[in-house]
Amino acid sequence: AYEPTQAARAIQEFVNDDLSNWYVRLCRRRFWKGDYTEDKISAYQTLYTCLNTVAHLMSPIAPFYADKLFSDLNNVSGKNNADSIHLSNFPNIDETVINKELEERMHIAQEVSSLVLSLRRKESIKVRQPLNKILVPVLDNAFQKKVEAVKDIILTEVNVKNIEFITDTSGIMTKKIKPNFKVLGPKVGGAMKQVAAQINAMTQEDIQLFEKEGSFSIKNGENVLELGPSDAEIVSEDIQGWQVANSGKLTVALDVTIDEELKQEGLAREIVNRIQNLRKDKGFEVTDKINIQIQKHDSLNKSISNNKDYICNEILANTLELVDIVENEKASLIEVDENINTLTLINKIENGKEESSN
């Protein structure tokens, strides 16, 4: 059947969720590397393959844009002899490169990251502010191994220092279960009230078993009703100092306590962001090295001193000086937050020599 809407939505979901907001974000440092290493080339080749394939897939429903994308890619690579995407061959599936286990692990990484980021938004905590820990209840060893395989990706994406796995959630988080009336209604009919009461009376151990096994038996009159995953909804209650979120069987708890050390790291990341914006405003290349002076500020001095190596590495600074006063007409005012601003002077290094910025 001809289903252009279904096809368009599948392409949109892939480009938005998997390519733009996931792969490209995760590969930013690979793209930004100064030298054309094998890793950098591999990252670009994967992106090229994705864009080229998407152009072909969308060509029947977005012919003009697809042809433009194809032409732009082909003008650089010269890989296709066709003058138009509509004169080129449609891509074939290469089943040898399909890795279902990798796809599943990446899906878990996306789900965990999405839940953690939603909790940050709920608490109005910026992603640039590091946090200490994520708790993930695990139902079996296989699931834990899958999360561990993508642990570093998750921690980098959500800016949290550690993931801790727990098998016993008692005393850490409380879960509630409630019947899904829309699904259960047709199954139990007039016995809905009694069935709902039994579901609401389930203990923490019952709920944990239901999550682990995916089913739970309760009495429905003289009969036994087997509850399935869609028959009830399990939610976790927030605990002091933590925020909790669920998605199906997956639960994450985020430690939202920000101590002094985390606060200082967060300020350092804000400083990096402002200087990166300043570099961009001045037209610096991504790989340009700089020297920088920052005027001392009581709220920033400790953060800069404690995180100097990190800041220099991120902004490509050969030197970073904290000075009492930046006396230069070319100095720029940076606003770290609504209560903190200071002067800074950055100079680009050309051929080993410092060049005054404009």
Calculated CA dihedral for residues 333, 337, 339, 340, nearest 10 degrees: -40
Select from 110, 109, 95, 193 the least CA-distant residue to 147: 109
Nearest-angstrom CA–CA distance, 333 and 207: 55
Residue ending a domain, among 49, 79, 97, is: 97
149 and 209 share a domain?
no
Pick 145 or 214 by higher pLDDT. 145
Q: What is the pLDDT of residue 246?
A: 85
Q: Which two tokens stand for residue 225?
A: 């009703």
| Choice among 117-126, 130-139, 292-301, 349-358 with the minimum mean pLDDT | 349-358
**Residue-number span of the structural domain to which 114 is assigned:** 101-171+238-257
Convert the pLDDT of each residue in 170-180 to its tens digit: 566 777 888 88
221 and 231 share a domain?
yes
Contact 278, 332 (CB under 8 A): yes
Domain count, the chain: 4
Q: Which two tokens stand for residue 183?
A: 């699904």
Q: Which residues 6+ apart lie within 8 Å of 221 measured at CB?
A: 191, 194
289: domain CATH number is: 3.30.2320
| Choice among 174-178, 221-225, 292-296 with the minimum mean pLDDT | 221-225
Residues found in the chain: 358
Q: What is the pLDDT of residue 358?
A: 58
Tokens 């927030």 correspond to: 238
Select from 314, 322, 313 the least CA-distant residue to 345: 322
Q: Which two tokens stand for residue 184?
A: 């259960």
Average pLDDT of the chain is: 90
121 and 138 share a domain?
yes
Which of 124-138, 155-169, 175-189, 208-222 has the highest average model confidence (pLDDT)?
124-138
185 and 318 share a domain?
no
Convert the pLDDT of each residue in 30-54 to its tens digit: 887 777 899 999 999 999 999 999 9
Distance of CA 187 to the CA centre of its chain: 39
Nearest-angstrom CA–CA distance, 199 and 193: 10
Pick 29 or 149 by higher pLDDT. 149
Q: pTM of the prediction?
A: 0.78
What is the mean predicted confidence (pLDDT) over 1-12? Answer: 91
N- to C-terminal Cα distance for the chain?
60
Q: Which amino acid is at 83?
A: D
201 and 305 share a domain?
no
51 and 78 share a domain?
yes
